[in-house]
Amino acid sequence: MDQERFRFGSFEFDASSGDLRRDGLLIRLQAQPAKVLAHLVHHAGQIVAREDLHSTIWGEETFVDFERGLNVCIAQIRSALGDESTSPRFIRTLPRRGYQFIYPVERIPAQAPVEPSDEAEPRTFPWRTFLACVAGLAILIGIAASTKWRRGSHSSAPLIVAVVPFDNETGDAGVSRFCNELSDNFVQQFAAASQGHFRVIGNASILRVPREQRDLAKIAATLHAQFVVLGQVQGGGAQTRILAHLIRMPDQTHVWVVRLEQPFDNPFALESTAAREIAQEFTSKLSDPAIRANLSASPSN
Same domain, 163 and 293: yes
pLDDT-based confidence at residue 120 (cuts at 50, 70, 90): very low
Same domain, 186 and 71: no
* CATH code of the domain in which 77 resides: 1.10.10.10
Domain boundary among 67, 93, 108: 108
Same domain, 187 and 288: yes
Instruction: Give the separation between CA 213 and CA 210, rounded to whole angstroms.
Output: 5
Give domain status of residue 143, yes or no: no
Same domain, 83 and 205: no
Same domain, 104 and 165: no
Give domain status of residue 166, yes or no: yes
* CATH code of the domain in which 260 resides: 3.40.50.10070
Same domain, 174 and 281: yes
pLDDT, residue 299, reads 46
DSSP state of 260: E
Give domain status of residue 251, yes or no: yes
pLDDT, residue 217, reads 93
pLDDT-based confidence at residue 152 (cuts at 50, 70, 90): very low
Give domain status of residue 65, yes or no: yes
Give domain status of residue 75, yes or no: yes
Whether residue 118 has pLDDT greater than 80: no
Instruction: Give the separation between CA 301 and CA 96, rounded to whole angstroms.
Output: 43
215-263 pLDDT, tens digit each: 999 999 999 999 999 999 998 667 789 999 999 999 989 889 999 988 8
pLDDT-based confidence at residue 278 (cuts at 50, 70, 90): very high
Sign (positive or negative) of CA dihedral 63, 64, 67, 72: negative
Give domain status of residue 182, yes or no: yes
pLDDT, residue 207, reads 92
Between residues 169 and 149, which one has the greater pLDDT?
169
Give domain status of residue 121, yes or no: no
Whether residue 150 has pLDDT greater than 70: no
Same domain, 166 and 293: yes
Same domain, 214 and 83: no
pLDDT, residue 24, reads 87
pLDDT, residue 124, reads 62
Sign (positive or negative) of CA dihedral 75, 77, 81, 83: negative
Domain boundary among 108, 139, 171: 108
pLDDT-based confidence at residue 211 (cuts at 50, 70, 90): confident
Instruction: Give the separation between CA 225 and CA 206, rounded to whole angstroms.
Output: 12
Same domain, 189 and 287: yes
275 touches 182 (CB < 8 A): yes
Mean pLDDT for 171-177 is: 87
Same domain, 83 and 195: no
Whether residue 1 has pLDDT greater than 80: no
pLDDT-based confidence at residue 67 (cuts at 50, 70, 90): confident
Instruction: Give the separation between CA 10 and CA 82, rounded to whole angstroms.
Output: 11
Give domain status of residue 42, yes or no: yes
What's the number of CA atoms in the CB half-sphere (13 Å) around residue 108? 15
Q: Sort 74 into a burial class: Cβ within 10 Å, 0-12 / 13-18 / 19+.
A: buried
Between residues 134 and 77, which one has the greater pLDDT?
77
Domain boundary among 78, 108, 138: 108
Q: Which of 80-94, 131-145, 197-211 has the lowest mean pLDDT?
A: 131-145
Helix (DSSP H) and strand (DSSP E) numbers for the chain: 8, 14
Same domain, 172 and 246: yes
Whether residue 301 has pLDDT greater than 50: no
Instruction: Give the separation between CA 288 and CA 234, rounded to whole angstroms.
Output: 29
Alpha helices (runs of H) in 22-113, residue ranges in sequence order: 31-42, 50-53, 66-81
Share of the chain above pLDDT 90, in %: 37
Mean pLDDT for 62-85 is: 83
Number of structural domains (the chain) is 2
Predicted model pTM: 0.51
Between residues 140 and 102, which one has the greater pLDDT?
102
pLDDT, residue 54, reads 84
Tell me the residue range of the domain where 14 lies.
5-108
Q: Which of 125-139, 149-163, 180-194, 217-231 has the lowest mean pLDDT?
A: 149-163
Between residues 292 and 189, which one has the greater pLDDT?
189
Same domain, 79 and 194: no
259-275 pLDDT, tens digit each: 998 888 888 888 888 99
